[in-house]
Structure 1
């Protein structure tokens, strides 16, 4: 669906994938913010519910998926990235907004950030409450996402996530609360804010992305399997062996604190690395770097450290890195750059 507007306005493609922003409560739960069904409102209806969008851009909407974002798989993630890349390559598209569920929004945003080689604004947004809830946040988030995507200052900043009037980089952002409207945060701070309907920037990103990235969605047919194991007391090696048994090429160890490895797992990691399964150490706490050789002899083991990438992003970066190299040193170099 295209919205007729002024021909001089930016042309923004809106890609719907479902999620809470496309959710609605049951009649018996009118006004509820937690009891609802996600992915039932079409992208066209989302546009119709925010009249102010027509003043910002010429909009074209399409429904790529209609799913809960928990149902995103690597196959769907590749499909999303290919479609966004196709839209960015078109002369009649100046920017792309993706309406996405919040549960895996940070993962999709980061993957697009690394694989879509375009300087055009790419913005993801969603909502913590369905449109039928009291004080639903979806309409304002969508309005702000379009405002950011349509603004010329947003170009070349990598993929952005706009939620609750904040503009986050896909490299850093994570969902940090299950229900609050300010559920998304970045450990290094937001890039900027949406102020009076326009982006206001306060910092810039220095790590490579989009146009500077060595990954290209046009050259990626499939992602190597990478598993994640989260640390807890009384861990067992069987969790790691299970990933190896199903063909994982790497396993992200979401360790305590600074990526700590329990003493009883250290020989397991050495064995797995020797057998050709990469171990990537990161932290389960959600912020702060993991330092190579600080609490574990990564050089002797042949393991990789993820710097400050959280477990979901470490999984994606490891998978992308494995499309380029099979060597631990090569994987480490990728994590050091990104």
Structure 2
């Protein structure tokens, strides 16, 4: 990979890409987030001579991703993107919540430079780890002229934040973009475009400046055979601010669960429907009382609803309320 004057900042957050196992043949019984980002860069010979900066922002298994890390990541990414000499930012991340982090960053920043998330399905100690080639490709995409938006680069494919999903539990080609397909492919260090780079307006860092402990609470419930409303009632009693229902088919919800969701909505809880199907989206039907998530899957719909509630709070100039039950708020 040839050097240019454009720099790439690599922010490490942990994940399987930084994981280690006692045996090189063990690809599932490993410990995530063991190696530092500088070690990950050193393991990719093709990056030698490329102008890079490596910074450890967090060190966690992405199943444990939290709002405080999201806020710190958004702030740090934004700061680096403001630098003229920085072409783009790469974030090493775990695979379990990569799609959620991607959508959070896209909605908050909608960057005009590329922010590329990369990850691995195998630990760094595996016989044939997928982390090094994914990191190499991510840096290549971060330096691609004209690239923009929050992207994910895995197994030679470039995905957009809105579509990327983890579709398989352990294969190295675990990620896809559903019916939309990938944005591009990385072939022999060349980026071949398939679709346009992501567009969008940034909600802005001001949206997430509040203490994450005071951010709205948004949870996901699932519609299934025999579903009831008790979990919704319990969450409302705890003071939940928003609910996403992972609905069946084209956004259909079991009648007992739907009744509880409608009651929660009347109490002031924001509710969105997203389909639990991997392919397709909820097609809106006139007169439906529960809004749909606009094609987002349930975990991204939760991020979206969280940000909408933060935006509404900010526009109203309202302070973050203390954590009390919704019943207590009504009294």
Alpha-carbon distance in 1 for matches of 2:267, 2:246: 21
Instruction: State the 1:15 CA deviation.
Output: 0.2
Q: TM-score, normalised by structure 1?
A: 0.86
Instruction: State the 1:293 CA deviation.
Output: 3.1
Alpha-carbon distance in 2 for matches of 1:249, 1:111: 18
| Conserved 8 A contact 1:85-1:117 | no
Unpaired stretches in structure 2, ≥5 consecutive residues: 314-331
Unpaired stretches in structure 1, ≥5 consecutive residues: 327-338
Instruction: State the 1:221 CA deviation.
Output: 2.3
The residue aligned with 1:23 is 19
Q: TM-score, normalised by structure 2?
A: 0.88
Deviations 1:237-256 (A, max 9, x none): 12112322232221000011
| Conserved 8 A contact 1:102-1:126 | yes
State the secondary structure of the residue aligned to 1:79.
Answer: helix
Deviations 1:206-252 (A, max 9, x none): 6x42xx23x11234224421110122221121211232223222100
The residue aligned with 1:54 is 48
| Conserved 8 A contact 1:231-1:255 | yes
Does residue 124 of structure 2 align to residue 131 of structure 1? yes
Does residue 36 of structure 2 align to residue 42 of structure 1? yes
Deviations 1:269-327 (A, max 9, x none): 22111111122111111221212336xx52xx3x211121100100011111122337x
| Conserved 8 A contact 2:8-2:86 | yes
Aligned-residue Cα RMSD (Å) equals 1.7
Does residue 255 of structure 2 align to residue 263 of structure 1? yes
The residue aligned with 2:165 is 174
Of 190, 201, 218 in structure 1, the residue corresponding to residue 206 of structure 2 is 218
Of 101, 117, 122 in structure 1, the residue corresponding to residue 94 of structure 2 is 101
The residue aligned with 1:332 is none
Deviations 1:41-97 (A, max 9, x none): 111111111111124x30100100110001111221111111111111123322100
Of 137, 147, 154 in structure 1, the residue corresponding to residue 140 of structure 2 is 147
Of 262, 271, 285 in structure 2, the residue corresponding to residue 279 of structure 1 is 271
Alpha-carbon distance in 1 for matches of 2:41, 2:258: 53
State the secondary structure of the residue aligned to 1:107.
Answer: helix
State the secondary structure of the residue aligned to 2:33.
Answer: coil
Instruction: State the 1:205 CA deviation.
Output: 5.2
Of 217, 222, 225 in structure 2, the residue corresponding to residue 233 of structure 1 is 225
| Conserved 8 A contact 1:141-1:163 | yes
| Conserved 8 A contact 1:278-1:304 | no
Alpha-carbon distance in 2 for matches of 1:30, 1:139: 15
Compared CA separation, residues 108 and 185, structure 1 to 2 (3 A) = same
Compared CA separation, residues 324 and 177, structure 1 to 2 (3 A) = same
Deviates more, 1:14-23 or 1:75-84: 75-84
| Conserved 8 A contact 1:109-1:161 | yes
Alpha-carbon distance in 2 for matches of 1:53, 1:183: 25
State the secondary structure of the residue aligned to 1:153.
Answer: coil
